[in-house]
Amino acid sequence: MTTAHNTAKKGDIAKTILLPGDPLRAKFIADTYLEDVKQFNAVRNMFGYTGTYKGKEISVMGTGMGMPSMGIYSYELIHFYDVENLIRVGSCGSYQEDVKIHDIILGQGACTNSNFASQYNLPGTYSAIASFNLLEKAKKIADKKGYEVKVGNILSSDIFYNDQPEVWQKWADIGVLGVEMEAYALYANAAKAGVNALTILTVSDSLVSKEEISPEDRQTSFTKMMEIALELA
């Protein structure tokens, strides 16, 4: 079955998929790490590929920026293509002094300023969390490789250019490690469908130190994060 956003047929996409926001990062992962690669999607230049990593079938596909885009792609992957493990690999901004440029964060939970969960008509605030089996496995893989990771809460924000530029400090004060724009929607879609999701992030800039890395570096240098995610297949 194809969709308005994905030309893959049933069976073209593996049960485990890596989801970078940037489609060029998806291409980098496929070109660098996967064997016997086949491209299954290029609609809206949202590239998707399936191949093998250490003999295991795995897919990778871009999701774009923001929760609406992640919401669409992850929903279709789950409900139309039977994907069971969805692993976001992306960049984030640090909210904490001890979370440095190039550090890796495993998103145990996602806060949000979005109303994404309003669709469920819940009588309260939904806490979007990672699947523990993927989180635990990712931490063990990182430890085995000797890669230090931070595990904790992140913020999925609908706003990039905030009219209140210092509002991030309120999230920092409650222990949030950093900010990105997609994890909450991924976790909510996965939880509703009863499948697994995890977000693995590399810090690309710091709101504390004001350091940042280049767009080119974002596409190609996050190799430790990618290696952890690939081992989850």
Residue pair 117/192 in contact by the 8 Å Cβ criterion? no
Q: Both tokens of residue 199?
A: 């977000």
Q: Residue 168 — φ and ψ, nearest 5°?
A: -60, -30
Q: Residue 105 — φ and ψ, nearest 5°?
A: -115, 130
Residue pair 215/106 in contact by the 8 Å Cβ criterion? no
Q: Which of 147, 135, 131 is nearest to 222 (CA)?
A: 147
Q: Are strands 35-41 and 48-53 parallel, antiparallel or unpaired?
A: antiparallel
> Using CA atoms, how far apart are residues 12 and 210, in angstroms rounded to an integer?
42
> Using CA atoms, how far apart are residues 143 and 126, in angstroms rounded to an integer?
31
Q: Both tokens of residue 230?
A: 């690939």
Q: Residue 71 — φ and ψ, nearest 5°?
A: -60, -40
Write the single-letter amino acid at 52. Answer: T
Active-site residue numbers? Answer: 205
> How many beta carbons lie within 10 A of that of residue 126, not counting itself?
16
